């Protein structure tokens, strides 16, 4: 594969090249990894910037429906939209949340939209790195907005928030007056809480839920990167296209403010550093699952359980061996 040519085509906005480039960064093969790194270096120089929007919500709140409507609205305004996913369940099962493209029927057919399912990987760390790289590739290919979807079940929100400029939490109207068990840590990451399905019979419940969350957000510690009025809770209806334009206005206002205050660039710099360290950590952990260490560890483990050598000594021996590896 000619990486220079692939990079040139990608920078020219060719979708097939973008898709091939993402396949390359998703590959677990060592020779592909070398090519992927060369590619990432080449496209890094484009200095293009997309707005990276993370979106989380439990299954059924309407994430796909929202992405379809919101994405179509952005495309209608002349923007190019890419959709990626971090799927914590695919990390376990090999499935994927965006695998079923019929969930975004209109957007899938748009020339100015690019939808990519979550890579199937064995662990979240691998999915995270690949999604971050895919985000950078979409940026380089000239996409204006990159939406990164994840299912709200825990760890994956942190991963997505760490690669986004804005983090949206999508909720459904609550049945009673209980908050839907949204963890405090996740609320703290949200820039915008959108209560979806504010239509028909659910409208009143959605408005109550919005008010509950607005109150809850108020109680959180004020973050320096927020202007007055943020983080904010609003209602939307993905099905009726209601509130989407307002949500987009809010996002733009927030980003503008953060840009002028310097928080936008600072967050990106912090994130780049975070992923740098994560990559080292994941790389080191990855070495333990590979030969020659994998067999060595197994061998020492047996000796440790037989009481032949101490756990500490065995661990130190493996760590020393790690230093000698290429």
71 binds ligand GDP (CB under 6 A): no
What 3-state DSSP class applies to 53? strand
User: Which residue, 286, 313, 263, is CA-closest to 123?
Assistant: 286
Give the Cβ contact number of residue 270 at 10 Å.
12
Residue 64 CB, shortest distance to ligand GDP, in Å, is 4
Residue 294 CB, shortest distance to ligand GDP, in Å, is 38
- x-or-dash pattern for ligand GDP, window 182-221, by CB under 6 A? --------------xx-xx-x-------------------
* DSSP characters over 119-188: PP-SSHHHHHHHHHHHHHHHHHTT-SEEEEEEESSSHHHHHHHTT-SEEEEEEPPPSSS------HHHHH
Cβ distance to ligand GDP smaller for residue 60 or 324: 60
62 binds ligand GDP (CB under 6 A): yes
Cβ distance to ligand GDP smaller for residue 27 or 65: 65
**Terminal Cα-to-Cα distance of the chain (whole angstroms):** 25
* DSSP characters over 140-156: HTT-SEEEEEEESSSHH
Cβ distance to ligand GDP smaller for residue 202 or 318: 202
Give the Cβ contact number of residue 301 at 10 Å.
13
Number of residues that bind ligand GDP (CB under 6 A): 17
Residue 103 CB, shortest distance to ligand GDP, in Å, is 6
User: Which listed range, 38-46, 52-60, 84-92, 140-148, lies at the site for ligand GDP (CB under 6 A)?
Assistant: 52-60
| Residue 282: partners with Cβ closer than 8 Å, 6 or more residues away | 125, 126, 129
* DSSP characters over 221-251: PPPTT--TT-SEEEE-BTTTTBSHHHHHHHH
Q: Enumerate residues 77-116 that contact ligand GDP by CB under 6 A.
A: 103
Residue 226 CB, shortest distance to ligand GDP, in Å, is 26
User: Which listed range, 13-21, 31-39, 235-243, 269-277, lies at the site for ligand GDP (CB under 6 A)?
Assistant: 235-243
Residue pointed to by tokens 């692939």: 6
User: Which listed range, 56-64, 119-127, 276-284, 293-301, lies at the site for ligand GDP (CB under 6 A)?
Assistant: 56-64
Interaction site with ligand GDP (CB under 6 A)? 57, 59-65, 103, 196-197, 199-200, 202, 237-239
């Amino acid at each position: 594969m000619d990486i220079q040519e692939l990079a040139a085509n990608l920078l020219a906005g060719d979708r097939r090249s973008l898709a091939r480039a993402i396949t390359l960064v998703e590959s677990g093969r060592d020779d592909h990894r070398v090519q992927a790194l060369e590619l990432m270096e080449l496209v890094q120089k484009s200095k293009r910037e997309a707005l990276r929007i993370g979106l989380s919500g439990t299954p059924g709140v309407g994430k796909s429906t929202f992405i379809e409507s919101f994405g179509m609205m952005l495309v209608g305004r002349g923007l190019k939209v890419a959709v990626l996913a971090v799927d914590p369940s695919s990390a376990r099962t090999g499935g994927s949340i965006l695998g079923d493209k019929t969930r975004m029927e209109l957007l899938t057919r748009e020339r100015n939209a690019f939808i990519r399912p979550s890579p199937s990987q064995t662990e979240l760390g691998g999915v995270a790195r690949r999604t971050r790289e895919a985000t950078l590739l979409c940026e380089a290919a000239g996409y204006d907005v990159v939406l990164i979807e994840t299912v709200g079940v825990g760890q994956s929100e942190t991963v997505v928030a760490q690669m986004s400029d804005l983090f949206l939490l999508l909720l459904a109207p609550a049945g009673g007056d209980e908050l839907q068990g949204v963890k405090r840590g996740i609320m703290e990451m949200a820039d915008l809480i959108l209560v979806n399905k504010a239509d028909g019979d659910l409208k009143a419940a959605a408005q109550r839920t919005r008010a509950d969350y607005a109150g809850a957000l108020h109680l959180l510690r004020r973050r320096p990167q927020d202007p007055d009025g943020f983080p904010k809770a609003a209602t939307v209806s993905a099905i009726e296209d209601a509130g989407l334009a307002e949500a987009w206005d809010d996002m733009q206002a927030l980003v503008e403010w953060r840009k002028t205050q310097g928080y936008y660039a600072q967050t990106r710099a912090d994130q780049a550093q975070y992923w740098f360290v994560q990559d080292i950590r994941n790389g080191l952990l990855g070495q333990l699952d590979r030969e020659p260490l994998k067999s060595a560890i197994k061998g020492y483990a047996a000796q440790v359980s037989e009481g032949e050598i101490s756990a500490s000594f065995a661990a130190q021996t493996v760590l020393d061996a790690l230093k000698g590896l290429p």
